[in-house]
Amino acid sequence: MIRAFLTSLAALILLATAIAQPSGTLVVSLASDPVSLFLPRAPDRTAANVSWSLYDSLVWIDDEGELVPALAERWEVSADGTAYTFHLRRGVVFHNGEPFNAESVLATWQTGKDPSNDYASIYAQVNSVEILDAYTVLLTTPEPSAVFLTQLAMNWAMVPPSYIREVGIDGFERRPIGTGPFRFVSRTAGDRVVLEANPDYWRAGLPKVERLIFRVIPDASTRLAAIRTGEVHIANRLTADQVAILANNPEVEVVTYLNDRVFYVGFKNIGAGVGTPLADVRVRQALNYATNRPGIVQAIFGGHANLIAGFIVEGNLGFDSELMQPRPYDPERARALLAEAGYPDGFEIAMGCPTDGYVNINEVCLAIQRSLAQVGVEVRLEFMTTNRFWSEPHYGAVGPMYVDSWSSAIGEALPRLQGALLPGNYYNTWEDARLTALIRQIERTVDRDERAALYQEMHRLMFEEPPFIYLYQLTIFEAIRSNVEGYAPRAAEEYFLKSVSLRD
């Protein structure tokens, strides 16, 4: 009896160790040195992607886009949508042995909303964190927010209270501690970040690799060389041409996906936009028809871009490919509309362009200028450095039109709608009370289906009376070694590496 028990126990232990043993070293290239490993101070995608291997949030968005429990096992939302009660997972431990509990959530909020942090405003959206007991915590927001839980999932990396109070944020950045699948080992400035598997990770069976090393490789052609030699397993930010070289390489697999970043020409109806032909909706529709967007996609991006019809794009909540068809390229229609609006001979207007701010953006600006010239609209291009371009609120440094882009990391268009269209926001250049009202409504609508319908209504309005010329979304090109499994990057270029493994 005892022998049988012991044998099965031994077998189970053997089985468990056989399954759960992480193995191999995964090497990932980075296009720039991650400036910070403390998430509220991570200013860009690169820093955020590295950081997320170290932490968990209370909730999580899985690969299917569903909100699932993480460090919170379950939660309740109050009837008025302003109070969230989270019931925390027990038995979770930080990399330094500190236990995870309600104190951690409070400490995370307090350190997160420090005004010296880049993302302080995200934490400031919560106006109080109350500890109800060791494993229950209550967060309140001033108003109901539809995307609160998504923001929580993407931004609130739990930190250990005693440790962070002891070393401060600066000390924490030098040696970050979280509850995540990987623990911090070392960091060589400008060179690499070395992480190792967290043996006490609360999700059994993860992570799948023993060591995770991020190497900084600023030059894209060097990243290409490194993936070809196998010195890195995952290389990102490659171009279509570079990826073409990898086409017949059996050791490398190409990964492509549409980037959740919309490129557009913005119009102003404030500042420099007042008193321009842009006030007439027919003019704005005409400019959309007149811009040779298919030509731009083909000639400049070799077809590796998608035309967009609005700010809600493929993969976003509420996207409907039948409803959201881009306007065709139709210079005849454009001329007719311009004539109707009183500009049969066109007009002159200035357009700002952020030189080298994005891939091929200079060529895109020139192409827009050329196509608008065909219908009599003479565009005076104002090329300027990205510094100057973004240096003044409401694009004050440029004329009534400008080319820019906006990404969203939460699977919905809300951040860009808010950022671009809410009056008073730094990048807002178009004020329309109806759009403002709709955005406010979307912010408060917690039900996903209702919100989807609102996004569609938003699209209709923004399509009929466009505050933008809608251009394109780009395809992102990455490459991985063929023995890498489980790599699933998301539309805003985020990746999470806990499920990635290396086949021998």
3-state secondary structure labels for all residues of 429-448: CCCCHHHHHHHHHHHHCCCH
Minimum distance from residue 393 beta carbon to another protein (Å):
7
**Contact (CB, 8 A) for 154 and 409:** yes
Minimum distance from residue 250 beta carbon to another protein (Å):
15
If the CB atoms of residues 22 and 176 are measured against another protein, the closer one turns out to be 176
Minimum distance from residue 31 beta carbon to another protein (Å):
10
**Contact (CB, 8 A) for 84 and 67:** no
If the CB atoms of residues 115 and 275 are measured against another protein, the closer one turns out to be 115
Peptide bond into 69 cis (omega under 30): no
Report the distance separating Cα 76 and Cα 410, nearest Å.
Answer: 21
Minimum distance from residue 281 beta carbon to another protein (Å):
27
Instruction: Say which DSSP state 53 is in.
Output: T
Q: Which residues bind another protein (CB under 8 A)?
A: 32-33, 35-36, 41, 43, 115-116, 118-121, 170, 188-192, 215-219, 221-222, 225-226, 228-229, 231, 385-393, 397, 406, 415, 418-419, 424-427
CB neighbour burial string for 262-297, b if at least 16 within 10 angstroms, e if fewer: bbbbbbbbeebbeebbbebebbbbbbbbbbbbeebb
Report the distance separating Cα 344 and Cα 333, nearest Å.
Answer: 12
DSSP-based three-state secondary structure for 335: helix
If the CB atoms of residues 71 and 217 are measured against another protein, the closer one turns out to be 217
Helices (H), ranges, 45-188: 45-51, 102-112, 120-124, 148-155, 161-174
Minimum distance from residue 424 beta carbon to another protein (Å):
7
Minimum distance from residue 413 beta carbon to another protein (Å):
12
Minimum distance from residue 339 beta carbon to another protein (Å):
37
If the CB atoms of residues 211 and 388 are measured against another protein, the closer one turns out to be 388
If the CB atoms of residues 120 and 339 are measured against another protein, the closer one turns out to be 120
Closest CA to 430 of 438, 421, 439: 421
If the CB atoms of residues 336 and 397 are measured against another protein, the closer one turns out to be 397
Report the distance separating Cα 263 and Cα 406, nearest Å.
Answer: 7
If the CB atoms of residues 181 and 352 are measured against another protein, the closer one turns out to be 352
If the CB atoms of residues 225 and 307 are measured against another protein, the closer one turns out to be 225
Helices (H), ranges, 33-147: 45-51, 102-112, 120-124
If the CB atoms of residues 436 and 499 are measured against another protein, the closer one turns out to be 436
Q: Which residues contact 136 (CB under 8 A, 6 or more apart)?
A: 85, 86, 87, 88, 102
**Contact (CB, 8 A) for 302 and 429:** no
Minimum distance from residue 414 beta carbon to another protein (Å):
10
Minimum distance from residue 406 beta carbon to another protein (Å):
6
Report the distance separating Cα 138 and Cα 129, nearest Å.
Answer: 6
